[in-house]
């Protein structure tokens, strides 16, 4: 299966998702600068979503730059990842209506969880495809990714789940804080060769 076509298709889907997110930003009726403050909740949730997309894309690019093979399983795992990512505009728009409302924050957590599971499945599908094709160095590089390490260490995942559940019970807005802190950590922790891949 042609890797370039899948990357191009994925990039197009991600571009559409980002476009939908910014289109949710409403232009204030007033011409006063202070009127933009009415959109502050959406700006906060949009910032989290934009960081989410950027970090996801960076790591996705690394996966596909590294892989030597793209199987049918990888194709469908990638579709599942895009499916999980496509919920982000709805979650971002809904949570912005009230950053401390439990219902939207729960939905945001569900969307984030679906995306996480899809990313783990995609990662392991690519790892196993490369191992079967005789490219253990690719599998090793992907397993060495900090985000892969995090998602496969149940202790960290359980701590995150407990933190998010407590946040949703007592102060739902903290859920977005937990998500953005994790995104920032992932954004600044990547394999040493990722910049070299991006410069090719």
57: Cα within 13 Å, side-chain hemisphere: 19
CA pair distance 28, 37, nearest whole angstrom: 9
Distance CA(151)–CA(154), nearest Å, equals 7
User: What's the rounded Cα separation, in Å, for the pair 32 and 26?
Assistant: 15
Cα-Cα-Cα-Cα dihedral sign, residues 21, 26, 27, 28: negative
- Asked if residues 39 and 28 have their Cβ atoms less than 8 Å apart, the reply is yes
Rounded CA-CA distance 48/42 in Å is: 10
- CA separation for the pair 80, 96 (Å, rounded): 26
- pLDDT in 10s for each residue of the chain, 200 residues: 788 899 999 999 999 999 999 888 888 888 888 888 888 888 899 999 999 999 999 999 999 999 999 999 999 999 999 999 999 999 999 999 898 999 999 999 999 999 999 999 999 999 999 999 999 999 999 998 888 888 888 888 888 889 999 999 999 999 999 999 989 988 888 777 776 665 54
Q: Dig out the tokens for 97 from the structure.
A: 């209506």
Question: What residues have CB less than 8 Å from 82, skipping those under 6 apart?
Answer: 10, 13, 14
């Amino acid at each position: 299966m042609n890797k370039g076509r899948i990357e191009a298709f994925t990039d197009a889907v991600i571009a559409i998702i980002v476009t939908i997110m910014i289109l949710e930003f409403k232009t204030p009726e007033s011409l006063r600068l202070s009127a933009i403050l009415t959109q502050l909740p959406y700006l906060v949730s949009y910032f989290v979503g934009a960081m989410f997309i950027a970090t996801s894309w960076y790591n996705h690019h690394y996966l596909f730059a590294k892989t030597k093979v793209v199987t049918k399983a990888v194709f469908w795992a990638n579709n599942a990842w895009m499916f999980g990512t496509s919920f982000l505009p709805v979650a971002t728009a809904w949570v912005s209506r009230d950053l401390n409302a439990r219902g939207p924050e729960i939905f945001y957590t569900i969307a984030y969880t679906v995306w996480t599971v899809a990313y783990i499945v995609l990662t392991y599908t690519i790892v196993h495809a490369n191992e079967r094709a005789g490219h253990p160095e690719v599998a090793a590089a992907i397993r060495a990714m900090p985000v892969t390490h995090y998602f496969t260490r149940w202790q960290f995942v359980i701590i995150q789940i407990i933190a998010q559940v407590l946040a949703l019970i007592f102060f739902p807005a903290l859920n977005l804080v937990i998500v953005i802190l994790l995104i920032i950590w992932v954004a600044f922790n990547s394999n040493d060769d990722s910049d070299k891949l991006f410069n090719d």
